[in-house]
Amino acid sequence: MPTLLNPSRLLPPAPFPIVESVTPTQFSSNANSFNVNLPEIVNAGNLLWLHLTVLNTGTISGPLGWSNLRTPSSINIFSGKVADGTEGGTSVTVNKTGTADTAVAQVIQVSNWSGNLSDVESVAGSTLFNTSSFNPPNLVPTWGAANTLWIAAYWAQFQVTSITSYPSDTINQNYQNDGSGGGRCEIASATRALNASSWDPGAFVVSGLQNFAAAYTFAIRPFI
C-alpha cells in the first residue's frame, strides 16, 4: 500500500505579515474629538492597527465599527479593524471626555496576516516615570513559533524630546509628536518579522527625560 502524505507538509511556510503603510496624524490644537487619517490605499482584508495618545486623562473611545486591541487607558487607545476596502483616504474619529487637549496617532496597515483580530496579541509594561528609555516587555503569543510580525510601541508625555534610537533589528521605525510646538505628547513604533515563539524588544530611547510613558509589544499572526 503506498504511503499517504499529509498534504499540509508539502505547503511552503506561511509568509510573514507585511507592513503596507504607516500613517501619522498630529492634533496640535486642544480638542475632545480627533479625526485620525487612514492610508490613501487600503485593501480589503488588511489589518488596520491604530494607536492614539492624548495629553490629559479622560475616557477614550475608539472609532465606530472598530475593536479595542487592548482595554483603553486614560491616556491611550489601541484599536483594530479588518478592512473592507472602502477606508482608503478617509478618516475615523476617536473621542475622549474631560479636558480638551492635544493628541497624536499612528495607523499601521498590515497584509498577509491571519485575518482575525483575536490573532493580534499584546502585552504592556508598567507606567514609567522620569526616564528617557522605554523598554517594551517580552511577549509570548499563544500560537507559538511562526512567521510573526512584531510591533514595539510606546507613548510618552509632557517634555519636548526627539527619538535617538529604536529597538534593535527593527524596521518601519516611526516617531510622531502632537505637533503643538511644545511636542507635549509623543508616540513611536517599530516592527520586526521574526519566526520565534517570543520576542523581548530592546528599548526606545529619547533625548531627554519624559514625565510619564508606557511601552508595549504586539504580535500579529501570519496567514495560515
**Exposed, middle or buried, 160 (CB in 10 Å: 0-12/13-18/19+)?**
middle
Beta bridge partners of 213: 128, 156
Rg (CA), the chain: 18
On whether the CB atoms of residues 73 and 23 are closer than 8 A, the answer is no
Q: Which three cell numbers stand for residue 167?
A: 529597538
pLDDT cut 90: percent of the chain above it: 89
Would you state the pLDDT for residue 6?
38
25-57 in b/e burial notation, b at 16+ Cβ within 10 A?
bbbbeeeeebebbbbeebeeebbbbbbbbbbbe
Secondary structure letter of residue 113 according to DSSP: B
pLDDT for residue 9 is more than 50? no
- Mean per-residue pLDDT for 16-20? 97
Would you state the pLDDT for residue 160?
81
Q: 132-161, pLDDT tens digit by residue? A: 999 999 999 999 999 999 999 999 998 888
Q: Which three cell numbers stand for residue 65?
A: 465599527
How far from chain centre, in Å, is Cα 22? 10
**E strand or H helix at 189, and its extent?**
strand 185-196
Q: 211-224, pLDDT tens digit by residue? A: 999 999 999 999 98
How many residues does the structure list for the chain? 224
- Mean per-residue pLDDT for 44-49? 98
Q: 158-174, pLDDT tens digit by residue? A: 888 889 999 999 999 99
On whether the CB atoms of residues 132 and 210 are closer than 8 A, the answer is yes
Would you state the pLDDT for residue 224?
82
Ramachandran bin of 182, using left for φ above 0, alpha for ψ from -120 to 50, beta for the remaining angles: alpha
Would you state the pLDDT for residue 190?
98
pLDDT for residue 32 is more than 90? yes
pLDDT for residue 20 is more than 50? yes
Where would I find the beta strands (DSSP E) of 32-170? 33-37, 47-54, 60-61, 67-68, 76-82, 91-96, 101-111, 120-124, 128-134, 146-157, 163-165
Beta bridge partners of 149: 193, 220
Residues 6+ positions from 133 with CB-CB distance below 8 Å: 203, 204, 205, 206
Higher confidence at residue 74 or residue 12?
A: 74
- Mean per-residue pLDDT for 108-117? 98
Q: 181-200, pLDDT tens digit by residue? A: 776 899 999 999 999 999 99
